[in-house]
């Protein structure tokens, strides 16, 4: 069971920025020293706004070590870290319900939503996270809608949100990624790796879940597909298509009995 991972993140308090797991603090000194806006207005006037050379983590934003119900999800997709869009600051600082959804996700409390995978919650269809994931999975969701829900895209979207989770190797937002040197030392990254090795990998090999590794296969310590563990090669990883005809998309549809 993933309780060790959830318990680890239960110690991350979200009362006020900076939003960093206490075990990660000693490893992120340079990131902590960067400017961290405390409002959307601050972000707009901050030198970090639109700075594509800025590779530090944005610690004013809540960490996202995972999305979705990691206890029950039948499909888990492994990725690198949350990216950054201008709308992330607006969403967290200006939309209370969105902010609460992020916090419930961190603590794995889903009593208030039918969409545990909040990146597929149509209430947040204006958000970059929804646009990215819905676009990535649209082909698969349409296939599920047609074959299981009489063409209802909304029902298929809800079904996918209830059965999908994403695990991030690094939980903090960044415009671009330059923290590869921390993959063997940052406590939160080690927790993610341990969760994969102890729980997700055995579940996938035994056919209990479908696990799709889209990025950083060397960090997850897995080189090839096995059972229901689907591994994208280096040439495929950056694009990591999840269309219905891709190997990841086919694996998702197979998990739900759609061929």
Q: What is the pLDDT of residues 131-161, one digit of tens each?
A: 999 999 999 999 999 999 999 999 999 999 9
pLDDT at 158: 98
| Rounded Cα gap, residues 22 and 67, in angstroms | 20
Quote the mean pLDDT of the chain. Answer: 93
According to DSSP, residue 215 is labeled S
For the segment 24-43, what is each residue's pLDDT rounded down to a tens digit? 999 999 999 999 999 999 99
Residue 66 three-state SS: strand
Distance CA(207)–CA(233), nearest Å, equals: 21
Confidence check: pLDDT of 224 > 90:
no
Return the residue matching tokens 């960067």.
Answer: 34
Taking the C-alpha atoms of residue 120 and residue 77, their distance in angstroms, rounded to an integer, is: 14
* Residue 234 pLDDT greater than 90, yes or no: no
Residue 251 and residue 198: Cα distance in Å, rounded?
21
Q: What is the pLDDT of residue 233?
A: 74
Give the CA radius of gyration of the chain: 18
Over residues 160-177, mean pLDDT = 96
| pLDDT of 238 higher than 60 | no
- Residue 237's pLDDT band (boundaries 50, 70, 90)? very low
pTM for the model stands at: 0.94
Contacting residues for 18 by C-beta, under 8 A, at least 6 apart: 32, 36, 59, 60
Find, among 256, 225, 31, the residue nearest to 143 by Cα: 256
- Residues 134 and 126 sit within 8 Å (Cβ to Cβ): no
| Close Cβ partners of 180 (under 8 Å, ≥ 6 residues apart) | none
Tokens of 233: 């090669």
Domain boundaries, the chain: 3-255
Q: Which two tokens stand for residue 253?
A: 């549809």
Helix H or strand E segment including 6: helix 3-10
């Amino acid at each position: 069971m993933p309780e060790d991972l959830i318990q680890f993140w239960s110690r991350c308090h979200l009362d006020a920025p900076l939003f960093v797991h206490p075990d990660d603090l000693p490893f992120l000194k340079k990131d902590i020293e960067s400017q961290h806006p405390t409002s959307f207005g601050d972000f707009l006037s901050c030198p970090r706004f639109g700075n594509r050379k800025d590779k530090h983590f944005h610690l004013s934003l809540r960490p996202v070590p995972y999305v979705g119900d990691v206890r029950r999800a039948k499909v888990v997709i492994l990725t690198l870290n949350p990216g950054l869009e201008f709308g992330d600051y607006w969403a967290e600082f200006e939309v209370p319900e969105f902010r609460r959804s992020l916090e419930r996700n961190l603590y794995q409390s889903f009593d208030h939503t039918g969409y545990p995978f909040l990146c597929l919650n149509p209430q947040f269809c204006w958000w970059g996270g929804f646009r990215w994931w819905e676009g990535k999975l649209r082909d698969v969701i349409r296939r599920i809608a047609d074959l299981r829900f009489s063409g209802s895209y909304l029902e298929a979207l809800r079904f996918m949100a209830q059965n999908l989770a994403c695990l991030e190797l690094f939980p903090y937002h960044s415009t671009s990624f330059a923290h590869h040197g921390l993959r063997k030392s940052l406590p939160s990254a080690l927790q993610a790796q341990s969760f994969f090795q102890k729980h997700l990998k055995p579940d996938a090999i035994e056919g209990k879940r479908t696990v799709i590794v889209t990025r950083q296969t060397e960090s997850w310590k897995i080189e090839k597909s096995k059972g229901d563990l689907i591994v994208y090669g280096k040439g495929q990883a950056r694009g990591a298509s999840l269309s219905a005809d891709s190997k990841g998309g086919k694996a998702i549809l197979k998990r739900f009995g759609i061929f």
